[in-house]
Amino acid sequence: MGRRLTFDIFRYNPSVPGSTPRIQTFQLEETPGMNLFVALTRLREEQDPSLKFDFVCRMALCGSCGMLINGRPRLACKTFTRDLPAQINLFPLPVFKLLGDLSVDTGTWFRNLALKTGAWLHTSRAFEHDAREERMDNETALRIYEAERCIECGCCLAACAKVHLQKEFIGAAGINRLVRFMLDPRDERGVAQYFEVLGSENGIYGCMGLMGCEDNCPKDLPLQLQLAYIRRRLAATGVSRSQTRQGKG
Amino acid sequence: MSSYRIHVTDALIIGAGLAGERTAIELAARGLEAVILSLVPPRRSHSTAAQGGLQAALGNCAQGRGDSPDVHFKDTVKGADWGCDQNVVRLFVNTAPAAVRQTARWGVPWSRITAGKRRMPDLSVVEESEASAGLITAKKFAGTTKWRTCYAAEGTGHALQYALDGMVLSLGVTVHDRIEAIALIHDGRRCLGAVARCLRTGDLRAYLARATVIATGGCGRIYGLSTNSVINEGTGLFLALDTGLACLGNMEAVQFHPKTMPPTWIPVSEGGGGYILDRNLDYFMPYYQPKNKKVPYRDVIARHMQERIRAGLGVDGPHGPHLWLDIRHLGATHIERHLQNLAVFCRDFGGIDPVRELIPVRPAQHYVMGGVRTNIDGAVYGLEGLFAVGEAACWDLHGFNRLGGNSLAETIVAGMVVGRKVAEFALGHSLQYSSRLVGEHLAAQEYRLRSLIAGKNGCENCYELKKRMQRIMMEYVGIFRTGTGLRKAMAELQELHQRAQQVRLVSNSRGANPELEAALRLPGMVRLALCITCGALARTESRGSHYREDFPNRDDINWLNRTLAYWPPGAELPVLKYEPVTITELPPGERTASA
């Protein structure tokens, strides 16, 4: 027989006028290999069909199911109940707009971020249908992929004290996404252009170095490294610029 | 009608996965305005979960030398067990290399060739030349003669989706996420758009467009065990079917992934380097071994595994019987380095260390070859102005068995090819509609919603019915099928179809309500289940993934054709018609695994 699990889950439906946030308690018997995807699906199907949460791939690839699990931002799909105490508290991720219960609007947040920072490959060159692809060494491809593989779940933002204080700060996910393009030789933007986007208090200089992002990334991305990389690149640009100015003066 | 929001655009695309976004890019690049509707933000689409790779005959790597669209053509047609449209296959294999290279231009970090020698797990040595260094590389996949599967590290679908979504952003394509199309608007001849429901607020709205594209992916979730994302419920398929004008092609062709891991049936692919064992740790598939260069087709492996489980030689697990996948002999270094994803999946979702432990696996539904039947231009049969693309479509590239890597390739190739045709259609046809017609479609959906919310329909529980459907599909319409089982499934599903229209919601909140969404989809899902079942019952032969124990052989004399399922309004069962399969280059022959 499995343990008897107690779930205290945040409930709130903003679309119902006059409704107020509350905590609802559920009980569920633990089954072998149970994770929070299995548990929440059962709670919805067997106990309260109105319970809102977001799962898509249930294999930590789509980034839909970030939530606060006993206070920490985690992907629900890759959290085994056996790694948690019998008392499990579930809250929606902070930072993002609440859609209802455990469902938050990370999609809109990341879409705005991508538009604001120009998070796509910038190239002026037209595609030639019959030409062979340009070469790239595999090390470069792998370095790009290492930054590319962020699934934009929002756990790093929920874990970032600075994002809570400063709404416009783009956080580790935003900075990492731009690192991905800086590392890509196919992108035609120069450091000066990246500086426009990143060289401010809402960019890299907004980071206070608390590293809640790296500690809580469900994909184990080297966020600390990427933040340091940007800082170094931009500092170097700043130095060389001021030297140029001094030289001219 | 005035109280509803009406959006008017050139092209409406339903679904923001790879096929939908690639189609939108083609339209935007041609100066057309496109609106994409999606159940989830685009970057959360099921496409991002596609990890294996994408087939295109670039012929760059050493083991791919000599590859060409012609070789790719043969592999695809044989894999399909000759059930595919050879004109489509030819168009596809010829376009795939350019389609892949184009995505490199959009930023996909395709894995590249490194010059030098590399030792494979079977101890063979592969040597890449300096001349090919830096070009897009490829790996081996089941059913392919050459190494042809391009990949971006271990996240091909993710990398493609992010690159395409970046292009969608840069081209200013409008994406409305958390919006579900719940009915197509048409005048009996031409499709004019869709009625959609906002999943944030529950509000209804209408989208009107010169051309409408269904790109909603597959319907794996009508099966109890599926590798598909939870949103893959076939919404686009029954949207088309419910017009009574469009039809679904080859719905009985359903692919099962041989190796998926409980409790959530995540596919674990080790690239044919492992052994599959039964409860006695007997190694019962002599052809399935690391040294065998002839990796059999997926449907063959899945059947052999299921047979073993049925013979009582499966392992009794807490989530039903399973077999074991053993990859321990590959060693920690190989597993951690080259099978990173598999290792991560085993640890994160199975709680297993694949370096030291056996992995529980069993077959689960993976892909539907069938879908909304279109012609080679992606135009849906029976309804002008409606197109379908990707897994949602039966373009008919895959016939009765899809080769791994061909579905991801299909999304970008079809998006490119069909996108062009959608643009031509939209440019050549103005949007003419009567407000009355749109109002009627909205009113019909409003009525459906209100009845459900008011609890007037009956007192059935939506989730219980859904589970029952999923169990029936696994038991009788799965890997092994018989006339007796299929007839039983048909009777039970028919009854379920009635009951699915008598659902009473347990919850009562308006606005976003997951139970209401499930209840709205359920009758359509049962109709898809019936299309699969009836198609399978009628097809008295075995071809590709469709396996009839009572008719174990392929029958080219009677069944070298494609099933077309129609659902006339108010009908209790689908009406099946058939059309011939186009054979142009490769006449039916023996289906053997490729060397």
- Which residues of A are less than 8 Å from B136 in CB distance? 133
Smallest Cβ–Cβ distance between A33 and the set B137, B351, B513 belongs to B351
Q: Hey, are the CB atoms on B105 and A127 less than 8 Å from each other?
A: yes
> Are residue B346 and residue B408 in the same domain, yes or no?
no
Considering the domain architecture, whether residues B100 and B207 belong to the same structural domain is answered as yes
Query: What pLDDT digit, counting tens, does each position of A63-120 carry?
Result: 999 999 999 999 999 999 999 999 999 999 999 999 999 999 999 999 999 999 999 9
Question: How far is residue B119 from each of residues B63, B128, B169, measured CA to CA in Å?
Answer: 13, 11, 42
**Among A74, A78, A242, CA closest to A158:** A74
Shortest distance, CA A210 to any CA of chain B (angstroms): 27
Q: How many CB atoms lie within 10 A of CB B491?
A: 12
Instruction: Using the structure block, give the residue that is written with the tokens 């008295």.
Output: B540
What integer pLDDT is reported at residue B594 of this predicted model?
47
B415 falls within a domain: yes
* Chain B residues in contact with A138 (beta carbon < 8 A): 111-114, 134, 137
- Both B454 and B534 in one domain: the answer is yes
Give the ipTM of the model, two decimals please: 0.96
- A-B CB pairs within 8 A amount to 218
pLDDT of residue B293: 60
Closest CA to A41 of B587, B512, B515, B216: B515
How near does any CA of chain B get to the CA of A162, in Å? 25
Domain segments of chain A: what residues? Answer: 4-103, 106-248
Contacts of B177 in chain A (CB under 8 A): 107-108
Which of A16, A52, A57 comes nearest B48 by C-beta? A57
Residues B347 and B481 in one domain: no
* Shared domain check, B276 and B185: no
Chain A interface mutation, best of B105, B322, B465, highest count of A Cβ atoms under 10 Å = B105
For residue B45, give the chain A residue with the closest CA: A62
- B386 shares its domain with B328: no
Q: Do B173 and B249 sit in the same domain of this protein?
A: yes
Instruction: Determine whether the interchain pair B514/A63 forms a contact, defined as Cβ–Cβ distance below 8 Å.
Output: no
Q: Closest partner residue to A56 among B44, B58, B518, by Cβ?
A: B44
Q: Residue B13: inside a domain, yes or no?
A: yes
CA distance B109 to A244: 35
Q: Would you call B375 helix, strand, or coil by DSSP? A: coil
Q: Which of A120, A143, A150 to mutate to test the interface with B (most CBs of B within 10 A)?
A: A120
Residue B78 lies in a domain: no
Residue A61: name the closest of A222, A219, A177 by CA.
A219
> CB–CB of B112 and A63 under 8 A?
no
Q: Enumerate the active-site residues of B.
A: 298
Q: Which of B363, B382, B412 is the last residue of a domain?
A: B363
A232 close to B (CB below 8 A): no
In this prediction, residue B88 carries a pLDDT of 98
Q: How many other C-beta atoms are found inside a 10 Å radius of the C-beta of residue A229?
A: 18
B43/A63 Cβ within 8 A: yes
* Strand B54-55, strand B254-261: pairing: unpaired
CB pairs under 8 A, 24+ apart, for B355-358? Answer: B355/B328, B355/B331, B356/B328, B357/B328, B358/B277, B358/B324, B358/B325, B358/B326, B358/B328
pLDDT tens digits, residue range B37-85? Answer: 999 999 999 999 998 899 999 999 999 999 999 999 999 999 999 999 9
Angle, in degrees to the nearest 10, between helices B462-476 and B483-500: 170
Q: Are domains A4-103 and A106-248 of this chain identical in fold?
A: no
Same structural domain, B526 and B467: yes
pLDDT at residue B1, as a whole number: 45
Asked if B229 lies within 8 A of A120 by C-beta distance, the reply is no
pLDDT tens readout for residues A118-129: 999 999 998 998
Please provide the average confidence, as pLDDT, over all residues in chain A: 94
Asked if the Cβ–Cβ distance from A49 to B113 is below 8 Å, we say no
Report how many domains make up chain B.
3
Per the structure, the complete domain to which residue B353 belongs is given by 259-363
Minimum Cα–Cα distance from A54: chain B residue:
B40
Asked if residue B224 lies in contact with residue B467, where contact means CB atoms within 8 angstroms, the answer is yes
The verdict on a CB contact (< 8 Å) between B40 and A64 is yes
Q: How far off is chain A from B188, nearest CA to CA, in Å?
A: 35
Q: What is the pLDDT, as a whole number, of residue B292?
A: 60
Residue B349: which H helix or E strand, with range? Answer: none
Do B379 and B486 belong to one domain?
Answer: no
User: CATH number, domain at B513?
Assistant: 1.20.58.100
First to last CA, chain B: 61
Q: Is residue B354 in a domain?
A: yes
Q: What is the mean pLDDT of residues A167-176?
A: 96
Instruction: Identify the residue whose tokens are 């009508």.
Output: B222
Mean pLDDT in residue range A168-184: 96
Single-letter code of the amino acid located at B159: A
**How far B105 CA sits from the closest chain A CA (Å)?**
7
For residue A62, give the nearest of B44, B107, B349 by CB distance.
Answer: B44
Q: Is B272 left (phi over 0), alpha (psi -120 to 50) or beta?
A: left
Cβ(A92)–Cβ(A53) below 8 Å: no
| pLDDT tier, A248 (very low <50, low <70, confident <90, very high otherwise) | very low
State the smallest CA–CA distance between residue B85 and chain A in angstroms. 25
> Domain for residue B312, yes or no?
yes
User: Does residue B129 fall inside a structural domain?
Assistant: no
- Nearest CB neighbour to A15, from listed B111, B112, B512: B512
CATH code for residues A106-248: 1.10.1060.10
Q: Is residue B486 part of a domain?
A: yes
- Whether residues B355 and B402 share a domain: the answer is no
Structure-block tokens of residue B373: 């039947």
In a domain, B281, yes or no: yes
The DSSP 8-state label assigned to residue B575 in this structure reads E
* pLDDT greater than 50 at residue A249: no
Tell whether B100 and B160 lie within a shared domain.
yes
Mutate to test the interface with A, among B22, B156, B230 (most CBs of A within 10 A): B230
Residues B375 and B513 in one domain: no
Secondary structure class of A2 (helix, strand, coil): coil
Asked if A93 and A104 touch (Cβ cutoff 8 Å), the reply is yes
Nearest CB to B263 within list A33, A63, A108? A33
Per the model's pLDDT, the better-predicted residue between A50 and B119 turns out to be A50
Fold of the CATH domain A4-103:
Ubiquitin-like (UB roll) (3.10.20)
Q: Which residues of A touch B135 (CB under 8 A)?
A: 132-133, 135
CA–CA gap between residue B246 and residue B213 (Å, rounded) = 13
Report, as ranges of residue numbers, the positions in chain B whose pLDDT lies below 70.
1-2, 287-295, 593-595
Tell me the chain A residues in contact with residue B229 when contact means C-beta distances shorter than 8 Å: 56-58, 62
